Structure 1
Amino acid sequence: MEPKLQGELLQLYDDKLKGVFQSLETKRRKLYGYYTAIALTALAGLLPFIFFHAIYPFLFLILVAGPLLILLIVRLRQKMLAYRRDYKQGVVGAVVKATDPSWRYDPEGCLSEEEYLDSGLFPDTHTYYKGDDLITGRIEKTDFRCSEVYAASRAQTGEKVSDYAVFKGLLFHADFNKYFSGKTYVWPVLPGGNGGSGLPVFGARDKDTRVVKLEDPEFNKRFIVSSTDEAEARYLLTPDMMRAILRIPRLYAGRPVYLSFVNNRVYCAIRYTTNLFEPDYYYPHRGYDDVLLLHYMIELNAALVHELKLNTRIWSKQ
């Protein structure tokens, strides 16, 4: 991180966010009162019925404890939503503005399902799609859109029905600096293998693509490239571009990174197992450390644009 930006983030924390975190901590502690009240109400309703097995304790459970329990749960849910809203508006929004004042942040917005499918990175097998924390803007000549995305599919084994994540993490796409007409995909080589077919277990199944072997041995060891046009894939994945793509997982603790070049845009998906911009309801915030972590996640947009040199326009692409 640039010293100037680090100083600006520290100034932002000292001047504004320290007070916001203190206010949030007061609200977070009040949630424990609801947890306690819910537990005691449930206990008060169940114990007489368990020990006495009489009609009157049962009526108490139905007429008094039950409605009170529902009321407390509804109130807790409202308080948690308000706490989440205050965190996103007061903390995440402030860090986005500190990173780049021109960027727009929508806590409840996300990349559309159409954008997710346009990437071609994941199969159209999901039954559930949602997302949040949409960040949009421009970095010099390059427009971008990024949000957290969760797509899940439902599987049934006998009578057991379970959901599994097709993709959970950050999805980013931006205007690419070259014109192209085909589709090129860059898949990570996963520790457990890629299903034996040379393509990822979860990924586009475009029958018109073919695996492309490039000249960089390290890149071929870490990624699988498939494309509808081998010559175009080599045009897009120059030696500098391959080195940049190899650096991206290192920036994000070795997490699986997927890229596609589709419709004159580059898509990048980074898998995560946790929610990235959510407050912790059970543990205190870590203050400035949380601010740095948020900036690290938000800075993904600029990091990708700079690493992939998207502002270096080629010929007529302006």
Structure 2
Amino acid sequence: MGEKSAPNSPASELSSELKELENERVILVAATKKANLIGLGAGICAGAAITYLLDAIFGAAIGALVYTFTAMLITASKRREFRANFKRQIIEKIVKKHGLNYDKDRGLGLDEFFTIYDCTVHQWSSEDLVEGNIDGVSVKFSDFYSAKKVKKKNSTETVVLFRGVLFKADFNKTLSSITQISHVNSRNLAIYGKKANMDDVRFEEIFDVYTTDQIGARYALSPVLMEKFTQLCLRLDAPVNAVLKDSQIFIAVETWRDDFEPQLGKSLTDEATLTAYESEIESFTQIVKELNLNRKIW
């Protein structure tokens, strides 16, 4: 079951927890397959009955709903338990290796989100809060989700606005202006002041800069910092947006996935699986070092 772990690798350090969780995962996968078969049977019966009594299209829709609801209901408690165990035994321990604290039930809030984005939000959730001190810098980041409801002619559609990671950190100088770094492919962003043209061609291919003070923006965004943001965006392979305000920097990474979650289809005893979780968390702890937030470069 998976590859043999090298000494001091994430898998070897968590070997006992991994074996227990892997057994739990295998049992859950089997239970999910069984639940899908039961749900399929229930869906076919319900769909056939509705088709006979009313309409084929309506019957197919009801059948699909019954299938999904039944399959999910049967395994709901097992999924919740596995997810909680995974986060407590794996994610929390990886986070603590970096000298940080972890709370699976907390996260950054709408205030942080609205510092970067300007949109109507009807649904939102935040979890997997990582916080602490990295190289003398106070840091917080968490998974974040937001969506809005859009009314159609005969229905209401949920439109996802953001899914990814919100990041907040202190830096060593209080700015009198606000400077915004906006990825060219991002939407629903708050706009601060007027657009500023920067002297880094590669940076400007990826980002637009807005600021309430043109001189202040050039002071805050040094050539080194622009290069660091470019590298960060390319390394994470996701749109990155940031706002420099007062004595803090707010960053949103649009991963468009639910981060820090277990994947049922991948063995937990496979070295690559654990390395992926380790790398995911390290990607965000590295932001402080990559942007030199512990240095007075502002």
Query: Is TM more than 0.5 here?
Result: yes
Do the aligned residues in 2 keep the contact of 1:34 with 1:72 (CA within 8 Å)? yes
Mapping 1:25-174, distance limit 5 Å = 25-41=26-42, 74-98=73-97, 100=98, 102-117=99-114, 119=115, 121-174=116-169
Gaps of 5+ in 1: 54-68, 191-199
Find out whether 1:297 has 2:280 as its counterpart. yes
**Pair 1:210–1:51, CA change in 2 (3 A):** closer
Which residue in 2 is equivalent to 1:246?
230
Do the aligned residues in 2 keep the contact of 1:13 with 1:288 (CA within 8 Å)? no
Do the aligned residues in 1 keep the contact of 2:133 with 2:139 (CA within 8 Å)? yes
Do the aligned residues in 2 keep the contact of 1:176 with 1:264 (CA within 8 Å)? yes
Aligned residues: 278
| TM-score w.r.t. length of structure 1 | 0.77
Please provide the CA RMSD for this pair.
2.9
Find out whether 1:210 has 2:194 as its counterpart. yes
Which amino acid counterpart does residue 113 of structure 1 have in structure 2? L
- Measured in 2, the distance between the counterparts of 1:165 and 1:52 equals 36
What percent identity do the matched residue pairs reach?
A: 22
Instruction: Report the alpha carbon displacement of residue 202 of structure 1 after superposing the two structures with TM.
Output: 1.6
**Structure having the higher Rg:** 1
**Pair 1:227–1:18, CA change in 2 (3 A):** same
**Pair 1:46–1:306, CA change in 2 (3 A):** closer
- Measured in 2, the distance between the counterparts of 1:160 and 1:86 equals 38
Instruction: Report the alpha carbon displacement of residue 35 of structure 1 after superposing the two structures with TM.
Output: 2.8
Instruction: Report the alpha carbon displacement of residue 146 of structure 1 after superposing the two structures with TM.
Output: 0.5
Which residue in 2 is equivalent to 1:193?
none
Which residue in 2 is equivalent to 1:9?
10
- Measured in 2, the distance between the counterparts of 1:277 and 1:297 equals 8
Instruction: Report the alpha carbon displacement of residue 143 of structure 1 after superposing the two structures with TM.
Output: 0.7
1:2-49 per-residue CA deviation (whole Å, 9 max, x = no partner) reads xxx9934243144542443233323332333333333345556777x6
| TM-score w.r.t. length of structure 2 | 0.82
**Pair 1:7–1:50, CA change in 2 (3 A):** same
Gaps of 5+ in 2: 1-5, 54-67
Do the aligned residues in 2 keep the contact of 1:149 with 1:169 (CA within 8 Å)? yes
Instruction: Report the alpha carbon displacement of residue 234 of structure 1 after superposing the two structures with TM.
Output: 0.9
